[in-house]
Every structure is written in C-alpha cells, then in structure tokens.
C-alpha cells in the first residue's frame, strides 16, 4: 500500500515534506529570463529544489492554487512537476483540498489520480459530509492511492468551526476524526497506519498528545512549521516514535536562499541546508519525548 511506502521513506529520510508553493516572486533572479515562458521558469525552480533535496525528503507537496494563478502555463508547470517527482521514484501530494459530492467528486478523483495531474496522495476537505469522501475510496482500494483529509488545521480561523463543542463536550474536529477513522481502518497498511490520513496543524501544542493518541493509526500531514510559527518541539508531539507523520514547510525552504547575500548563486545549497536544519530540529525534539 502507498502508506507503507511513505512510512519507509520517512524511516530513511526523516519527516520533512517540502511544499512547492511556487510563486514567481520566489524564483531567483538567475532563473528569471524574459525569453523563457512562465512554465519553464516555474518548472526549473521546482526541478532544482527537487534535485538538491530528493535524497533527504520523503515526499513533496504541490499546492495547486499557486499554479492555477498563472493560467495554462502554470498548470503545465504543475503537470511537469508532478511527473518529474514521480519519474524520480519519489512521492508527491497534490494539495487540492477538494470537497464536493457525487459525480463532481468522481471527476476530481479521476483528474488527480489519473492522467496529466496524477499524484500519489491528495488533500480533501470533509466538512461537506462523508459522501464527499466516498468517490475517492475506489482509488485508495484498487489504485494504490492515498488521502490526507482536513481534521484540525493550523490557521487561526480553525477555531470558528473545528473547535466548537458538541455532544459530551467534544470538539467538532474530534467528531469528524472519529468518522474518518472508521473509514481509515479499512485501508490499513503493514506499517500500522492507514492510507487515509489526516491534516493536523502543528501550531497548537495544547491538544497535540490527545490528538495523536486518539487517532493513533492515522498518518498525519502536519502544516504550520516555520513561516506559520510551528517549531520542532511542537510538531514532534504529533509524531509517534519519530514516524507517523510528515511535517510540511514551503516558504521556509523554497525561499531560504533570500536570507543570504550569496543566496542566488548558492540557491540549491541553501535550500538543502534549510531541509537539513528542519530535519534535525524535528528529530532532536522527537528523541527527547
């Protein structure tokens, strides 16, 4: 199962998930060229990040909005990026956060698990109801694909809905998580985790251990590290024996070169350094727990 492969990659390479949230103003000046297309510049930027980190990164996350914003050329760069990662025998998450039902969800599933935009995992929003998840399950069951479904997110607005108290004082996100866990237990890998995982923001430490214990067999995609304020000591609580989750960082890695005077010339070097620093921060805190 795909989750077993992800688990093994984390065991070998650590927990860092590089988010390729690529904007043109993130790209070093030595890649910018008026004779190049937007597609080529975005892809070259992504390719150089991938090539300089692939031996220390278990999975990449490509946020589709950053590519949609540049129209057809952006989507061509998105397609090439996904294909490049998968051709390198690496894993990729398409961060699409779809949340619709019936035939619409079926078409989203087909679009992102097959053809030009094929990925290994996708992100989904369950807050329209569990029938918004159902159309994706055949791909998990029969096509070796995986899901990361929003549970408790890292943004401040998560408290508007996800933190509301319902029956017996439990939170909305716990109720949703329990429903997702029922589905996830039918897709368990040999590693002890399900190919249906959840997105759990790493910026709220106070309930970290409770969430990890409650959803112990669900693999976590953990945003919020770096630019959103999360640190190694925060996200380590969402892991289990150093595995069970991947920690995403986007701007903190792909724009790391901007902190240095010679950053443009040593773009790949500083990108790799940012990954290694993050990896050490997480692993050192995980060892303490």
Catalytic residues, by residue number, are 97
Strands (E), 43-181: 59-63, 91-98, 121-124, 146-152
Q: Which structure tokens are listed for 216?
A: 């112990």
Largest CA distance in the chain: 62
111 to each of 13, 81, 96, 227, how far by Cα in Å? 30, 16, 11, 31
Query: 22: exposed, middle or buried (C-beta count within 10 Å: 0-12, 13-18, 19+)?
Result: buried
Reference 122, options 152, 145, 103; nearest CA is 145
Identify the H or E element spanning 112.
Answer: helix 102-113
Residue 192: φ, ψ to 5°: 95, 0
Q: Residue 256: which residues within 8 A CB-CB, separation 6 or more? A: 263, 270, 271, 273, 274
Are 201 and 222 within 8 A, CB to CB?
A: yes
**What single-letter DSSP state applies at residue 57?**
-
């Amino acid at each position: 199962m795909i989750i077993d492969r992800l688990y093994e990659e984390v065991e070998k390479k650590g927990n860092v998930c590089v988010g390729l949230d690529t904007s043109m103003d993130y790209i070093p000046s030595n890649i910018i060229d008026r004779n190049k297309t937007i597609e080529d510049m975005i892809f070259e930027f992504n390719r150089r990040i991938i090539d300089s980190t692939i031996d220390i990164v278990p999975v990449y996350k490509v946020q589709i909005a950053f590519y949609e914003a540049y129209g057809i050329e952006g989507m061509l760069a998105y397609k090439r990026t996904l294909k490049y990662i998968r051709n390198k025998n690496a894993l990729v998450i398409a961060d699409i956060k779809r949340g619709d039902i019936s035939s619409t969800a079926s078409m989203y599933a087909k679009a992102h698990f097959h053809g030009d935009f094929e990925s290994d995992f996708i992100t989904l929003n369950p807050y329209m109801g569990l029938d918004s998840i159902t159309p994706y399950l055949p791909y998990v069951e029969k096509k070796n694909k995986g899901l990361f479904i929003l549970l408790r997110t890292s943004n401040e607005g998560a408290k508007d809905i996800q933190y509301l108290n319902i029956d017996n004082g439990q939170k909305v996100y716990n109720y949703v998580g329990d429903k997702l866990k029922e589905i996830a237990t039918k897709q368990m890998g040999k590693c002890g985790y399900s190919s249906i995982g959840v997105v759990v923001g790493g910026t709220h430490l106070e309930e970290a251990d409770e969430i990890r214990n409650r959803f112990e067999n669900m693999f976590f995609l953990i945003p919020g590290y770096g630019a959103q304020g999360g640190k190694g000591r925060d996200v380590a609580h969402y892991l289990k024996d150093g595995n069970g989750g991947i920690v995403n960082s986007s701007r903190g890695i792909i724009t790391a070169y901007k902190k240095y005077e010679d950053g443009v010339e040593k773009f790949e070097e500083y990108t790799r350094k940012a990954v290694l620093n993050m990896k050490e921060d997480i692993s050192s805190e995980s060892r303490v727990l």
